[in-house]
Amino acid sequence: MQTARVRPTGITILAILEAIVAAFLVLGGLVLAVLGPFISEFIPRPVPGLITGIFISLFGVVILILGIVGFVVVWGLWTGQGWAWAVALVLAIISIIIDLFRLPGSLLGIVINIAIVWYLWQPHVKAFYGRAGVQPPYPSRATPAPPPPSPPTPGTVIYCTKCGTANPPESRFCRNCGTEIKAP
């Protein structure tokens, strides 16, 4: 039986914010791609208007593609795709690096992206995305496995007549199969 994975609240918020950004990218890309030649008429230029309009339109197409990719990442984040976790992590790290070159004005961006990287590394978030070697979120600290039982010494066990498992002498039922143990 497979249990349903519960999307962490922070991932829901992150996906919604990414969807808003992707929507603005798609809208802005469409505007630039379609209206590029018309926008170029309002820009003072040493280059002819047609070339400027083409560059504006190509820039709009690139922004449009980034917006579409953003929606694909939103879908991956929303549905728990492992690749989306990796993409979000890489994009946050790249944003931190870029923002370091724009200091001091980008300090807030650095803090936000560090928080995103920290959050993506939380065990319950990694578990949602199926990252190997992670523990489920609750309990937050893994309880150690009980030590293996020590081997029985002769005369201190009762053997089950059904499965042959060694049981403590005070046992009424077999610890392996549950069969009632009758005293010898």
Cα 134 from Cα 60, distance rounded (Å): 41
DSSP secondary structure string for all residues of 104-147: TTTHHHHHHHHHHHHHHTSHHHHHHTT-TT---SSSSSPPPPPP
Residues 57-83: tens digit of each pLDDT: 899 999 999 899 999 999 998 998 889
Write down the mean pLDDT value for the chain. 80
Residue matched to tokens 């820009």: 43
pLDDT tens profile 14-66: 889 889 989 999 999 999 888 877 776 666 666 566 677 788 889 999 999 98
Q: Going by C-beta distance under 8 Å and a sequence separation of 6 or more, which residues neighbour residue 53?
A: 36, 37, 38, 39, 40, 41
Separation of alpha carbons 162 and 64, rounded Å: 70
Average pLDDT over residues 136-154: 59
What size, in residues, is the chain?
Answer: 184
Q: What pLDDT, on a 0 to 100 scale, did the predictor assign at position 26? A: 94
Task: Specify the pTM.
Answer: 0.61
Residue 102 neighbours by CB under 8 Å, 6+ apart? none
Q: Do residues 35 and 27 make contact, with C-beta atoms less than 8 angstroms apart?
A: no
- Mean per-residue pLDDT, 173-177: 83
Token pair of 49, please? Answer: 């208007």
